[in-house]
Amino acid sequence: MRSVDVVIVGASLAAAAAAKRTVDAGLETIVIERKELPRHKICSGILSPRGHRFLLENFGPLPRETLHEPTSCRGVTFHFPSMVSMPMDFFHGTTPHLHRKYSDHWAIQRSGAEVHDKTSFAGLEDKGDHVLVHARQNGEPVEYRARQVIGADGPSSLVVRAVYPDYTKQIPWFFVGQKFHEIIDCPLSPEYFHFWFHPGLGHYTWSHARDGRQIVGVGFKRGDNFAKKHAVVQQYLQDKHGVHLQPAGDDDEGCAENFGPSLINRYVFGKGNVLVTGQAAGFLNMIGEGMSCALHSGAISGEAIVEARLRNRPVQEMYRRMIASEVRRCSDQWNPLKIAFDRPHEADFPAALMELSWRDRAKVLRDMWRFVVLFKEFKWGRQIASAALQRPLLGGYSMQRWL
C-alpha cells in the first residue's frame, strides 16, 4: 500500500490547483484519475478572465495545444424570446476557449504531482488520523493511505457519494448535452458565447463556435429527451436567428450537472479528513462557468491542508473558514440583490441593460422573470431570499447550510 500525504481524486483543473498548493508545500501528493490522460471532458471551455489569471500566475502561459479555435471569447450574448440580444464583453478583455482534454492535462503536469491514471476511485475509509483510499488500477485493486483526501471529481462525485451517500438524492439533477454541427450559415458572432433565456427551450441553452463547427447545447431536468430538446433548439435557431446548420455529427456528448448548490448556498465540503472541492462541492458560476471557481476552490482545499498542518487544527475547520471567500464570489453571482446593486459577474450586465431602450429593458426583465419561473418547481425561492439577506447582514453566507 502506498502511503502519501494527500490523494486527490480526479485530474481536473480543481485537482491541478489543489495539487499545486500541496506539492509546493512539500507534501507528497498523488492524483488518481479514472481515464487515461489526456482524457476528454465535456465543457464549453469558456474560462472567465479570473480563471485565466489564476492559470497564468500558477501554471504559466497557456500552450496553443490547450486551446480550441477560436482561441478566445470576447464575452457573452444573452438572447431573449422577445428577440432582444445583449452582448456583454468580459472585463479586462477576451478570455480563453480551453480544450479541456489538453488544458487539464497541462495543468496537472505543471502542478508537479504524481499522477496515476487509469485508476478508478472505489471508496474510502476515514480512520481518524489517515484515510484508506480503495481504487482499481487496470482492473486490479490498489490501496492508498493518505493523511487527507481531496475529492475533485466533478458533479457526479464518487467521493461525495462515499462521504454522504444520500446527498445525490437531496438535490435536483440536470442533464447538459451538446451536439456539433458543420455550419452552412451562422449569423451568431463566433466571438461570443450565446445564451438563451427562453423557457420554451430548456433550463440551459447555449451555442458557440468551436474548431470550425457550431455547438448547440441544451440543459434540462434529468429524465427529458436530449434528441428532442436539441431538435427544438436547432429549429428555433434556424427560424429566429437564421442559423443554418448541417445535421449534427455523431460525436455528441452529455453529462449530469448539479446546478443549484451555489444558488441556494448548499455546498458540500466533505467530512473529517476528506475535502470536496470544485464542482463536486457545488461551485458553478452563473451561465454555467465552473472552471474559475473550481481552480480557486481547488487551491483553497490544498491551502487548507497545508494550513491545518502548520497550525495543528482540524482540516475541515480550516477549509470551511478559508473557502468562505470563494463561496461569496460564487453565490454572489446568483444573489438577486448583488445582481441589482453590485457587479458580481465578470461582464457588465447592468451597463448592457442600460444601453437598451426603455421598451427593450422592460422586455428583457419580463423575459428573465418568465425564465426564472421555469425553476419554480424546485422551490428555491425562500432559500434564495434567505441567502440574499444573509449577505448584507452577516457579510457572507451561512456555513450552517454546508455539508
Q: How far is the CB of 107 from other proteins (least distance, A)?
A: 10
Q: How far is the CB of 49 from other proteins (least distance, A)?
A: 6
30, 284, 291, 323: residue in contact with other proteins (rule CB under 8 A): 323
4 binds other proteins (CB under 8 A): no
* Piece of the chain touching other proteins by CB under 8 A; list 90-98, 131-139, 175-183, 220-228: 90-98
C-alpha distance from residue 258 to each of 86, 222, 233, 265, 375 (Å): 27, 10, 22, 13, 14
* Piece of the chain touching other proteins by CB under 8 A; list 63-71, 214-222, 262-270, 371-379: 63-71
**Which residue matches cell numbers 453590485?**
342
Tally the C-alpha atoms within 13 A of residue 286's C-alpha that lie toward its C-beta.
20
**Which residue matches cell numbers 427544438?**
232
Write out the three cell numbers for 376: 419554480
8, 32, 38, 131: residue in contact with other proteins (rule CB under 8 A): 38
- Give the distance from CA 262 to its chain's centroid: 10
193 binds other proteins (CB under 8 A): no
102 binds other proteins (CB under 8 A): yes
x/- track of binding to other proteins for residues 6-35 (CB under 8 A): --------------xx-xxxx---------
396 binds other proteins (CB under 8 A): no
* Piece of the chain touching other proteins by CB under 8 A; list 52-60, 75-83, 124-132, 159-167: 52-60
314 binds other proteins (CB under 8 A): no
* Residue 287 near residue 195, CB atoms below 8 Å: yes
Task: Decide whether 67 or 368 has the Cβ nearer to other proteins.
Answer: 67
Q: Which residues contact 304 (CB under 8 A, 6 or more apart)?
A: 275, 315, 318, 319, 322, 323
Q: How far is the CB of 97 from other proteins (least distance, A)?
A: 8
* Residue 30 near residue 8, CB atoms below 8 Å: yes
- Give the distance from CA 322 to its chain's centroid: 19
144 binds other proteins (CB under 8 A): no
Write out the three cell numbers for 110: 505543471
312 binds other proteins (CB under 8 A): no
* Residue 80 near residue 293, CB atoms below 8 Å: no
Q: How far is the CB of 125 from other proteins (least distance, A)?
A: 26
**Which residue matches cell numbers 492524483?**
31
5 sits in which H/E element: strand 2-9
DSSP assignment of 132-194: EEEEEETTEEEEEEEEEEEE---TT-HHHHHH-TTHHHHS--EEEEEEEEEEEE--S-TTEEE
Q: How far is the CB of 177 from other proteins (least distance, A)?
A: 27
Q: How far is the CB of 189 from other proteins (least distance, A)?
A: 15
285 binds other proteins (CB under 8 A): no
124, 216, 291, 306: residue in contact with other proteins (rule CB under 8 A): 306
b/e per residue 71-110 (b: at least 16 CB within 10 A): ebbbbbbbbbbbebbbbbbbeeebbbbbbbbbbbbbbbee
* Piece of the chain touching other proteins by CB under 8 A; list 54-62, 151-159, 244-252, 264-272: 54-62
Task: Decide whether 124 or 306 has the Cβ nearer to other proteins.
Answer: 306
C-alpha distance from residue 393 to each of 226, 298, 335, 355, 372 (Å): 42, 28, 14, 32, 25
* Residue 344 near residue 332, CB atoms below 8 Å: yes
Query: How many residues make contact with other proteins (CB under 8 A)?
Result: 49
Q: How far is the CB of 233 from other proteins (least distance, A)?
A: 28
Nearest to 262 by CA among 377, 156, 384: 384
Q: How far is the CB of 53 from other proteins (least distance, A)?
A: 6
125 binds other proteins (CB under 8 A): no
62 binds other proteins (CB under 8 A): yes
Q: How far is the CB of 202 from other proteins (least distance, A)?
A: 30
189 binds other proteins (CB under 8 A): no
330 sits in which H/E element: helix 324-332
84 binds other proteins (CB under 8 A): no
Residues in contact with other proteins by the rule CB under 8 A:
20-21, 23-26, 38, 49, 52-53, 56-65, 67, 71-72, 92-96, 102, 105-106, 109-110, 112, 296, 299-300, 303, 306-307, 310-311, 318, 321-326
